Amino acid sequence: MESKFIAQAYSGDSSIWKYVLGIVLVTLGALVFSLPYNLIIANKVYQGVADAAKVEDLNYLYTLMDSNSSLFYMMLPFVGGLITLFLVVKKIHKQTLTSLTTSRVKIDYKRVFFSFFFWASMVLILFFVGYLINPQEIVWNFNAKNFAILFLLSIVLIPIQTSLEEYVFRGYLMQALGVSSKTKWFPLLVTSVIFGLLHYANPEVKELGYGIMVFYIGTGLLLGVMTLMDDGMELSLGFHAANNLITALLVTADWTAFQTAAIFKDISSPSLMMELVAMAVLYPFLIFVLSKKYKWSHWKEKLI
Per-residue model confidence as pLDDT tens digits over 42-78? 999 999 988 888 887 777 888 889 999 999 999 999 9
Report the pLDDT averaged over residues 120-139.
93
The span from the CA of 302 to the CA of 280, in Å, is 23
Residue 279 belongs to a domain: yes
pLDDT at position 239, please? 98
**Dihedral of alpha carbons 111, 116, 118, 122, sign:** positive
The span from the CA of 45 to the CA of 42, in Å, is 5
pLDDT at position 232, please? 98
Report the pLDDT averaged over residues 117-134.
93
Report the pLDDT averaged over residues 125-137.
91
Q: Is the pLDDT of residue 258 over 90?
A: no
Other C-beta atoms closer than 10 Å to the C-beta of 186 total: 14
Q: Is the pLDDT of residue 304 over 80?
A: yes
* Mean pLDDT value across the chain: 94
Residue 223 belongs to a domain: yes
Residue 175 belongs to a domain: yes
The span from the CA of 50 to the CA of 241, in Å, is 33
Residue 298 belongs to a domain: yes
Alpha helices (runs of H) in 202-268, residue ranges in sequence order: 203-208, 211-230, 234-250
Q: Which residue has the higher pLDDT, 129 or 156?
A: 156
List, for residues 182-233, the tens digit of each pLDDT value.
999 999 999 999 999 999 888 888 888 888 999 999 999 999 999 999 999 9
pLDDT at position 58, please? 77
pLDDT at position 277, please? 86
Highest mean pLDDT among 39-53, 60-74, 124-138, 169-183: 169-183
The span from the CA of 118 to the CA of 120, in Å, is 6
Domain carrying residue 132: 6-303
The beta strands (E) that lie in the chain are given as: 138-140, 251-252, 264-266
Residue 153 belongs to a domain: yes
Report the pLDDT averaged over residues 233-240.
98
Q: How many domains does the chain have?
A: 1
Residue 1 belongs to a domain: no
pLDDT at position 63, please? 84
The span from the CA of 59 to the CA of 169, in Å, is 27
Residue 201 belongs to a domain: yes
Confidence of residue 257 (pLDDT cuts 50, 70, 90): confident
pLDDT at position 1, please? 63
Residue 197 belongs to a domain: yes
pLDDT at position 2, please? 66
pLDDT at position 15, please? 96
pTM: 0.95
The span from the CA of 220 to the CA of 191, in Å, is 7
Confidence of residue 269 (pLDDT cuts 50, 70, 90): confident
pLDDT at position 34, please? 96
pLDDT at position 206, please? 84
